[in-house]
Structure 1
Amino acid sequence: MSRADAWRRWALASSFACVAGWNDPASAAQPRLSFDIPSKPLKSALVDLAVQAGASISTQAAAGCATTSRPLRGRFTLQDGLTKLLAGTGCGFRMIDAGAIEIVRLPPAKPAAVRGARPEPTPSAALDELVVVATRRPTPADRLAYAVSAVEGSAIAGQSLRDANDLALAVPAMTVTNLGPGRDKIMLRGLSDGPLTGRTQSMVGLYLDDTRLTYNAPDPDLLLIDMTQVEVLRGPQGALYGSGSLGGVLHLVTEPPAPDRFEAWIAGNVGATQGGDGSNGLSGMVNLPILDGRGAVRAVLYRDQQGGYIDDANLDLKNVNRALRSGGRLNVKVDLGGGWTLTGGGAAQFINSDDTQYALATQAPYTRRNQVREPHDNDFAEAHLNLKGEIGGIQARWTISAVNHDITSRYDATAAPPIALAPGPAAYDDDDRTHSLVTEGSLASPEEARVQWLVGAFLARTHQDIDLALTRLADAPVQALAETRRDTLDEAALYGEATLPIGRSLSVTLGGRLFTSKTRVNSQTSDQAGPIASFSGSLDQSGFAPKIVVSYALSPSALIYIQATEGYRAGGFNTTGPSGQMFSARGQAEPRRRYDGDELWSLEAGGKVSLLDGRLRLRAAAFQASWKDIQSDQLLPSGLPFTANIGDGRNLGLEFEGGYRLGRLQLGANLLVNAPELEKANPAFPVRKDVSLAGVPHRAGGVTAHYDWPLGSDMTLELDGRYAYVGHSRLTFDATTSPLMGGYATGRLALGLATPRWRTTLALDNPTNARGDTFAYGNPFSLRSTDQVTPLRPRTLSLSIRVTY
C-alpha cells in the first residue's frame, strides 16, 4: 500500500462528503441490464459490474469496506444492481452521471467532517481498480509504485488465456520459452539466462495463492481455470520473495470458496489444428456452502488434450507431440469467528507429452527425423494450510505448504551420445523429483494506519533427487552412463518494509530481506564397469537484499515513482559428465565445479495516469538492470548440461502499457524496448562477440481489442482480438549454439455469445498461420550438429461452451 497520505485524506473526505447523497436518485432512469457476477473480492466484483454495464466506477473508497461482495445475477437497473452487490459491505455509491459512479463509505461520520470536506472530482478508473495481492498487502494496482500487471478473471476467460504462454501475449515484458507443456521457463522484462534447463534456479518466482510452486524446476504450467486474477510483478523482488525472483513474480490467485451460495459450472471445448490432430477439453467447478454458511468447499477438475502437429519422418509417425494435461484443485474455507479464517486444500496436475515439439530446418515444415521418441511428464502436487485474521487491528497471516514436483524427460541420443557407443538407438533419461516444505508468517499494519508496514519470516527445506541415465536400446538394453544426485537446500529469512508518508503527496518505502541458505550435494556417477566419480560438497550463503521506492501523487489520478531493488540467486555445484570429465576449481577455466550466485540491481522510474474520467489509463517505466556473475545453463561438448557464470551484463529498457474504454469497446496496447549488453564476458567461456543477452528481443509488443454488443434482453455478442510481436534474439550465450530466432507475429480472433447462464466462443488462433521460430530448442545432443526450429502451433480453430448453474 505504497500511497501518499493525501490519498487517504482525500478518500476519507470523499466518503464523508458523499454520505448524504449515496444512492442518489437524481440520475435519469436507466435501462435494465443483465449481470452475472459471483461473490468475490469487492473490487474485482465492481470491475465486473463496470464491464458488464459499460460504466465507469471509482472504487478507491472500497478499501475500507467488506472484502467480499454479494453475488449479482439477473436483470437490474445499474442503481439496483449496485445496491444489491454492495448490500452488507459497508459501502454505498453516488451517481456522478448516467455512466459514472463513485463508491463511498457509509456512516458513521461526523457532520463537521461533511461541512469541511472539499473533495476534488475523482476520475473513474474501473479497468484499473484491480486489487493486487502479490505485494503481500492487498492494494489497488493503480496505487502501486511498481511495474505490475493484473489480469482479472473475466478477461482470462474472455480472451481464452489458458496458460503462461497465452498470458505472455497479453502482458507486457513477459516471455515464455516454447519447449512444450511442462518444460518452459518464464522470463520478465528481458532478463533471460537462456532456455536450457539444468541446475540454475528459476528466474521468476511462481506462486499459487500463498504457495511457492517451484525452486529450480520448469514452470508446472498450471491451467488458468477458475482464477480471480493473475498478477505479474516485473523487476527483481528479492526483498519480499527472496532467491529465485530475479526477473519478477507470477502470482496466480484462485477464486476463493464462497460460503453464501451454491455455484457450479461445466465447460467443454474442441479444436482443429491445420495439418495436425484435434484438441479437446472438459472442465468443471462446484462450490458448496458448509457449516450453516460459516464455510465452503470449492472444487475444480479439468482435462485438456492438445493435438500434435510435428511429424517424425524417420519413425513414420504423424503429429507426435500430443500432450494431455489433467488436474484439479480443492479448497475448504472456514470462518473461525473473531475475524479469523482458515483455508486448507491442495492442487494437482499431470502433464503427459508424447514427444517434443521441434522440427529440422532441413526437412519439410513441421518435420524431423529421430531414432527414439522423446516423451515428457510433469507431475505436480501441493497441499497448503492458511490462517489469517487480526490481532489488535494488525493483519496476521500464516501459511504452511508442501510441494511435490516430478519431472521426467527422454532425449534421443543416437546421433551424438555423450560417450562412445556401438551403433544403434540410444536414449538419455532425466528424472528430477523435488519435495519441499515451506512455512511463512507475516504481520501487516491496519489499512487505515498512517505508516504502512509489513514484517515476515520464512523457512523452507527442499530435497531434490536426480537420476540420469544413458541407455543403449539396441538388442538387450544396456545402461552405459548413470548419475544419482541428492540435493538438500535449507533456507531462512526475515523480511519487511515500511511506507512513510512525507507531506501530502510524497511517500518513501524502505524494505529488505535478511537471508541465509545452505546447500548440500552428494553425487555418484557410474558406467558399465562401475563407479567412475563421486562428489560431496556444501555451500553457505547469506546476505541482505534491499529495496527503496519513492513515489509522488501528482493528483488523485496520476502517480510517478522511482525505485531501486535487488534480486539474487544462490550458487551451486556441477557434477554431471562422462568418464574423464574434469571440473575446474573456482576462478579457473569453465566448466567449474562450483558456480557462484548471481545478483541483479534494478533502477526504475515510471508513472501511471488515468484520464478521460477513467476511460484512458497509461503506464510507462524506464529501467536499467545491472546483472553480475550471470548464471546460465550451458552444454558440455558431450551435450550434458552444466552451469556457468558467463559474465556481467545489463539491460536498458522502456516498457509501456495502455488501455482505453469507450462504452462497450475496450482497447489495450503494450510495448517493450530493450538494449541488452554483455558488458564483461567470462574469459573462460566462449561467448559470441555479437551476442548480447540470450533470449532478449530488442522489440516486443501487442494490441488487444474487445467489444460487447447487446442482442435483445439477455444475450450479448462478444468480439475479441489480439496481436503480438516478438523480436529477434539469440538462443544461448555459447558461440556454437546460439542461432537467431524470433522476429514473428501471432494473434487470435474470437466471436462469442453470452447470457447469464451460458457462453459459447468460436476462436481462431494464429490466423495467418505464422511459422516463426520461437525461443526454444529441441534435443541438446544434436543441437550443435542440426538446425533445430520450434515453430508456433499452426492455425487452430476452436469452439468452447460453458454453462453455469
Structure 2
Amino acid sequence: MKINPITCAVLAALAVTRMSYADDVTPPAPATQPAAASQPATNKPADASNASTLGTVTVTAQHTAEDMQDVPITLQAFTGNTLQQLNIVSFNDLIKYLPNVTFAANGPGQGNIYMRGLSTGFLGNQSSASIAPFPNVAVYLDDQSMQFPARNLDVYMVDMERVEVLEGPQGTLFGGGAEAGAVRYITNKPNLTRLSGNVEASVGVTDGGSPNNSANATLNLPIIPGTLAVRGVIYSEHQGGYIDNVAGTFTRQPTDGGGAMAPYVAAGTAAGTNNYSVAKSDWNPVDYQGARISALWKINDNWNFLIAESYQNLDADGQSSTYPVSPDGQPMGVNQITSFVPGWNDDHYSNTAWTLNGQIGDLSLVYTGGYTNRHISEQQDYTNYSRSAGGMYYQCTGTKAGLSSAGKPVCYSPVGYWNDHVASTHQSHELRLSTPEDDRFRVIGGLYYEDFNINDHMDFNYKTIPSCTTQNLANALAGGNPCVADAESSPGVVMPDNTAFGEVEQRGYKQEAAFGSMSYDIIPDVLTATAGTRYYHYSEWQTGTEFYTTAAQVNVPNGTYVGNDTVMNYHQTYHGFKSRANLLWHITPDAMVYYTFSQGFRPGGFNRTTSGVAKLDGEAQYQKPISYAPDTLTNNELGFKTTFLDDRLLFNGSLYDMRWNNVQMQFFNPLVLGNTTFAVNGPNYKVDGLELQFQARITDGLSVIGAGSLNHAKQTNSPCLVDNIPGSANYNACIVETGTIGALASFANPYGNVGSVPAFSPRSQFNLRVRYDWNFGPGFKAFWQVGANRTGSMYNQPATYPSGAGVTDITTVELRYLQAAYTTYDASIGISKDNWDVSLYGTNLSNSHASVFTSSAQFIESEVPIRPRVLGLKVGFKF
C-alpha cells in the first residue's frame, strides 16, 4: 500500500519537546514490581525546577530498573522522544549515533551488526540462512530474541519507550548470541488510566530518487480504568528508490573462466545478453507496513498480565547495491547498477509475546514468553558468476570446461540468479525471581528455554543448458547438442529447469539455561559487588540436502534421479558456564567508577558438506569439518559515569580489553577449497578500546551531546590449515602448496597473520549533535538541531583474504576491499503549539555516497551506498 502524500500531510504528529540522550522521563516501573509496572514510562517536559538539568533515563539492562548512570557497563539509551526528534525509524538511522557499532548492511533486514570491531567479515545473503554463523550481537524486541544469521530483524521504531544498546559480553543475562553486546527495542506499554494517542505523517524527497511518505497512528484506551487497557499502533512508510538499473550488456570474454572461454569465443558461440526488459530508474523502493496491539490487565495490586501482538511487512524491490564498473567493464555513474533479472527481498514477521508480573511474599516474579513466525523471499542477480569457471560449467558444452564435452562448442544465456525462501519460528520462555531491590543483599535468578528453527530452500538458477525434455533428449541422442536433466533435491522432488545447485535444509537449536546474579552493598549507597553466572545447554542440528548438477545428468530424461546430493543429518550438544562480576564505587552521589569482568559466547554450527579439498597432485589434504564450535569472548572493563554542575553536565567513559578466542571464520576459495563455503574455528583476536560519552545543558534551551570511540583490534595468533587426512603425504603438517606436479602453487594461510586487523573494525567513530529549544509568541515553541556522524575507514574482510583493488576477474566472494571513511550531517527545525507540531528535516545533507558494505558476493565488485540526501516535512497531532 502506498500512502498518498496529501493524506500524509493531513495526518500528524511529532511531539516536539526538549532533546537529550537523557530526556526527563518518569522512570518505568521495574519489571519485577508488577503493581508499579502498570504505569509505564512517559516522557514529560521539564518544569521550572529542572528545566536546566539533564534528567535521567531508567533502563532494565540488568533485568532490574535503574538509572542508566548506575549500570556498570558501557550503555547507550534512546528514549521515545529522542528517537522521534532524530527521525529514527530503522537501524540504519540509529547506527549514526552509536560509536563502536558497525553494520554490514546489504539492504533492509539484511546484514550483521558488529560491536567493538568483533567481526570476521560478511559474505552476502545467498544461502545465509543455511551457512552463516549465528550473530554475536543479540537483538531483542522487549524480551523476545529476534536475532537471525545475517538477517537481524529490522524492527520499525514507532511508539517505542526506548532503545538500549549494551556493549560488551552479556552472556550471563542474555545468553548465546549476546557475545559482543545486545540491542534491545522496548515498546510503550498500555497506560491503565489515560486515554491518549497521536498521529503523525511525513512527505519527503530523495536526491536523485523518488519521493518518500509515511504515516503512523497510536491509541491508548483504558477499557476498565485502572484495571484493563489496550494500546495499538499502525504504521506505513514508503521510501522511494534512488538506484538506477541502467541498460547494459553482458558479453562473454576469452578470459572468462581463467581463459577457458577462448574455445567458445573462437567458435563464435559466446552468447551474450542485455537487460533492457528490466532496466528502470529508482528501482529499489522500500515499504514498511505493520501494526502492534497490546493489552495490560491489572489483576490486583500484586499481579498483572501483558500480552502483545506485532506484525510487520518489509517489501524491498530491486537491489540495495551499486556497481562501480558494469559487467562489461564500463565505468558506472553514482548509484547505478546493471542487473539482468528482477530483484526483491520480502520479509514478513508476526510475534506474540506475553508477560506475567507478580509478587510472592518478598519475591518478585516475572514469566515472559514469545513466539515469532518469520517468512523471507529474496531474489538477486547472479549473472556475473558466468565469468567464473563454475558459472560457465553450467552454461556451455563442447569442451572440457563445460558440463559436457560432447558436441561442438556451444554456450547458452549467461543470465543467472538465486532465489531464497526462508521460514523460521522462534519460541522462548523465561522465568525470573528477584529479591527486593532496596535490600542490602539482592539476588536475581531464572530459567530460560528457547527453540529456534530455520527452514531454507535456496536455488541457484544459472544452468542455461537446455533440459532433457523428450524432444531435446531425442535431438541429443541423435548427435545434436547435449541436454542436462533437471536437478532433484531428493528422489522425486524436481527443481526448475535452470536450477543448478542449492539446498533444502533445516537448522536450529534448543537451549535450556539457568542463571543467577547476587549483589551486595559492602558500603550502602557507596560500594557494591555483583557476581553472576549462567549455565547453558544447547542441542543443535542441521538436516536436509544440498543438491547439485553433474555429468551424470547429461543426456538422461528429466525425472531421472542420479543421487547427486549430500544428505545432512548433523547433531551436536554442548554446555558450559559464562560468568560476570563487577565492583561499583560511588565516590560521590554524582560520580561512579566500576570494574566489570564479563564473558560471552555464540552458538556453533554445521557445514553442508565434508568433502576433501586443497588437493596436491590430485590428493586431498584437508577434509572440511562437519561442525564448528562456539567461540568465546572475555571482557575486562574499567569505566566511570559522572555528572557535574548540578546535573547540567554528564561525562562517561570506559576502557576495555577483550579477548575473542576460537573465532568462527568462513572460507570460499573455489579454485582450492571447493565450490561451497565452509566455516571453521580459527584464530584469536585482542581488542583494546576507549569510549567516551558526554551531554551538556549549556542553557535552559541549548543542549550538546556527543560520543566517540577509539579501537585497536588485532589478531594474536596464527594457526594454519593442517592436513587432516590420514595417509596423505603431509598429514598433520601445515598445508603450504596445492596443485599438480609441474604446476604447484603456494597456499597462503587462510587464517591470516599475527597483528592483522579484523573486518568492520574502524579505528575511530564519533558523533555530535546540538539542539536549541525556545518559546515565542502566545504559546508557541520552536527548536532547531544539527548533528554530525563520522565513521573511520574499515575493511569488509579479514587481512588474510585477497585484495579486490583493481581485480576484474573475480573468482571468490571473499575479496577484501577498503571502505573509505565518511561523515554525514543531519538537521531539523520545527514549531509546535498546543497539540500540533510541524518540522522540516534533512538527512545526509552533504549527500555522501560512501559505501557501508563493499563486496564481491555476486562475483562483481558491488557497493551498498548510504541513502542520498533526504529533505522532508513532518506534521503531527497528539491528545
TM-score bin (small chain): 0.7 to 0.9
Q: What is the CA-CA distance between 1:576 and the residue it aligns to?
A: 6.1
Could you tell me the percent identity over the aligned residues? Answer: 23
The equivalent of 2:735 in structure 1 is: none
The secondary structure found in structure 2 opposite 1:695 is coil
Q: 2:688 aligns with which of 652, 670, 682?
A: 652
- Residue 857 of structure 2 aligns to which amino acid in structure 1? P
Q: Does 1:753 align with 2:831?
A: yes
The equivalent of 1:344 in structure 2 is: 307
Q: Does 1:794 align with 2:868?
A: yes
The secondary structure found in structure 1 opposite 2:428 is strand
Deviations 1:171-202 (A, max 9, x none): 33222222111102222222223233532112
- Residue 223 of structure 1 aligns to which amino acid in structure 2? Y
Q: CA distance change for structure 1 residues 195 and 61 in 2, over 3 Å: closer, same or farther?
A: closer
Equivalenced residue count is 709
Checking the alignment, whether the CA contact within 8 Å between 1:57 and 1:125 is kept in structure 2 is no
Q: What is the CA-CA distance between 1:293 and the residue it aligns to?
A: 3.7
The secondary structure found in structure 2 opposite 1:168 is helix
The equivalent of 2:540 in structure 1 is: 519
The equivalent of 1:675 in structure 2 is: 712
The equivalent of 1:372 in structure 2 is: 341
The equivalent of 1:416 in structure 2 is: 385
The equivalent of 1:214 in structure 2 is: 147
Checking the alignment, whether the CA contact within 8 Å between 2:463 and 2:500 is kept in structure 1 is no
Trace 1:469-480 onto structure 2 (pairs within 5 A): 469-472=459-462, 477-480=497-500
- Residue 357 of structure 1 aligns to which amino acid in structure 2? S
Q: CA distance change for structure 1 residues 522 and 462 in 2, over 3 Å: closer, same or farther?
A: same
The secondary structure found in structure 2 opposite 1:272 is strand
In 2, the alpha carbon distance for the partners of 1:790 and 1:55 equals 34
Q: Does 1:715 align with 2:780?
A: yes
Deviations 1:520-559 (A, max 9, x none): 2213122354432212111111000010101111000000
- Residue 207 of structure 1 aligns to which amino acid in structure 2? Y
Checking the alignment, whether the CA contact within 8 Å between 2:293 and 2:308 is kept in structure 1 is yes
Deviations 1:703-733 (A, max 9, x none): 0111112122322111111100010111012
Deviations 1:486-528 (A, max 9, x none): 1241100000101111124221110010010111221312235
Q: 2:572 aligns with which of 521, 536, 539?
A: 539
Q: Does 1:448 align with 2:438?
A: yes
The equivalent of 1:266 in structure 2 is: 199
Q: Does 1:458 align with 2:427?
A: no
Deviations 1:106-126 (A, max 9, x none): xxxxxxxxxxxxxxxxxx964
Q: What is the CA-CA distance between 1:763 and the residue it aligns to?
A: 0.8
The equivalent of 1:154 in structure 2 is: 81
The secondary structure found in structure 1 opposite 2:384 is coil
Q: What is the CA-CA distance between 1:776 and the residue it aligns to?
A: 4.8
The equivalent of 2:530 in structure 1 is: 509
Higher strand share: 1
Q: 1:142 aligns with which of 65, 69, 75?
A: 69
RMSD: 3.0
In 2, the alpha carbon distance for the partners of 1:704 and 1:320 equals 33
Q: CA distance change for structure 1 residues 622 and 391 in 2, over 3 Å: closer, same or farther?
A: same
The equivalent of 2:375 in structure 1 is: 406
Checking the alignment, whether the CA contact within 8 Å between 2:144 and 2:370 is kept in structure 1 is yes
Q: 1:703 aligns with which of 768, 771, 776?
A: 768
Q: Does 1:238 align with 2:211?
A: no
Q: CA distance change for structure 1 residues 312 and 549 in 2, over 3 Å: closer, same or farther?
A: same
The equivalent of 2:138 in structure 1 is: 205
In 2, the alpha carbon distance for the partners of 1:413 and 1:514 equals 44
Q: What is the CA-CA distance between 1:274 and the residue it aligns to?
A: 0.9
Q: Does 1:612 align with 2:645?
A: yes
Checking the alignment, whether the CA contact within 8 Å between 2:240 and 2:284 is kept in structure 1 is yes
Q: CA distance change for structure 1 residues 538 and 801 in 2, over 3 Å: closer, same or farther?
A: same
Q: 1:622 aligns with which of 643, 650, 655?
A: 655
Q: 1:429 aligns with which of 388, 401, 419?
A: 419
In 1, the alpha carbon distance for the partners of 2:84 and 2:837 equals 10
Q: CA distance change for structure 1 residues 435 and 560 in 2, over 3 Å: closer, same or farther?
A: same
Q: CA distance change for structure 1 residues 732 and 275 in 2, over 3 Å: closer, same or farther?
A: same
Gaps of 5+ in 2: 1-12, 249-274, 326-331, 396-411, 468-496, 554-560, 722-748, 803-814
The equivalent of 2:503 in structure 1 is: 483
Checking the alignment, whether the CA contact within 8 Å between 1:564 and 1:602 is kept in structure 2 is yes
Q: What is the CA-CA distance between 1:71 and the residue it aligns to?
A: 10
- Residue 730 of structure 1 aligns to which amino acid in structure 2? Y
Which region of structure 1 is more displaced relative to structure 2, 164-173 or 334-343? Answer: 164-173
Q: 1:735 aligns with which of 801, 807, 816?
A: 801
Checking the alignment, whether the CA contact within 8 Å between 1:719 and 1:752 is kept in structure 2 is yes
Which region of structure 1 is more displaced relative to structure 2, 135-144 or 644-653? Answer: 644-653
The equivalent of 1:574 in structure 2 is: 607
Q: 2:292 aligns with which of 329, 334, 344?
A: 329
Q: 1:597 aligns with which of 630, 637, 657?
A: 630
In 2, the alpha carbon distance for the partners of 1:58 and 1:526 equals 57
Checking the alignment, whether the CA contact within 8 Å between 2:108 and 2:316 is kept in structure 1 is yes
Trace 1:380-399 onto structure 2 (pairs within 5 A): 380-399=349-368
Structure of larger gyration radius: 2
Checking the alignment, whether the CA contact within 8 Å between 1:56 and 1:614 is kept in structure 2 is no
Q: Does 1:771 align with 2:849?
A: yes
In 1, the alpha carbon distance for the partners of 2:602 and 2:335 equals 37
- Residue 690 of structure 2 aligns to which amino acid in structure 1? L
Q: CA distance change for structure 1 residues 644 and 60 in 2, over 3 Å: closer, same or farther?
A: closer
TM-score (norm 1): 0.83
In 2, the alpha carbon distance for the partners of 1:576 and 1:458 equals 33
The equivalent of 1:762 in structure 2 is: 840
The secondary structure found in structure 2 opposite 1:775 is strand
The equivalent of 2:323 in structure 1 is: 360
Which region of structure 1 is more displaced relative to structure 2, 247-256 or 626-635? Answer: 626-635
The secondary structure found in structure 1 opposite 2:82 is helix
Q: What is the CA-CA distance between 1:299 and the residue it aligns to?
A: 0.9
Checking the alignment, whether the CA contact within 8 Å between 1:56 and 1:99 is kept in structure 2 is no
The equivalent of 1:725 in structure 2 is: 790
Checking the alignment, whether the CA contact within 8 Å between 2:232 and 2:291 is kept in structure 1 is yes
Q: What is the CA-CA distance between 1:473 and the residue it aligns to?
A: 7.5
Which region of structure 1 is more displaced relative to structure 2, 787-796 or 610-619? Answer: 787-796
The secondary structure found in structure 2 opposite 1:302 is strand
Deviations 1:43-92 (A, max 9, x none): xxxxx99869x9999989999995576999999x94xxxxxxxxxxxxxx
Checking the alignment, whether the CA contact within 8 Å between 2:243 and 2:322 is kept in structure 1 is yes
In 1, the alpha carbon distance for the partners of 2:228 and 2:782 equals 36
Q: What is the CA-CA distance between 1:787 and the residue it aligns to?
A: 2.8
Checking the alignment, whether the CA contact within 8 Å between 2:25 and 2:57 is kept in structure 1 is no
Deviations 1:438-463 (A, max 9, x none): 11100111122111221010011122
The equivalent of 2:190 in structure 1 is: 257
- Residue 786 of structure 2 aligns to which amino acid in structure 1? G
TM-score (norm 2): 0.76
The equivalent of 1:565 in structure 2 is: 598
The secondary structure found in structure 2 opposite 1:146 is coil
- Residue 376 of structure 2 aligns to which amino acid in structure 1? I
In 2, the alpha carbon distance for the partners of 1:56 and 1:303 equals 29
- Residue 872 of structure 2 aligns to which amino acid in structure 1? S
In 2, the alpha carbon distance for the partners of 1:309 and 1:165 equals 16
Q: What is the CA-CA distance between 1:395 and the residue it aligns to?
A: 1.3
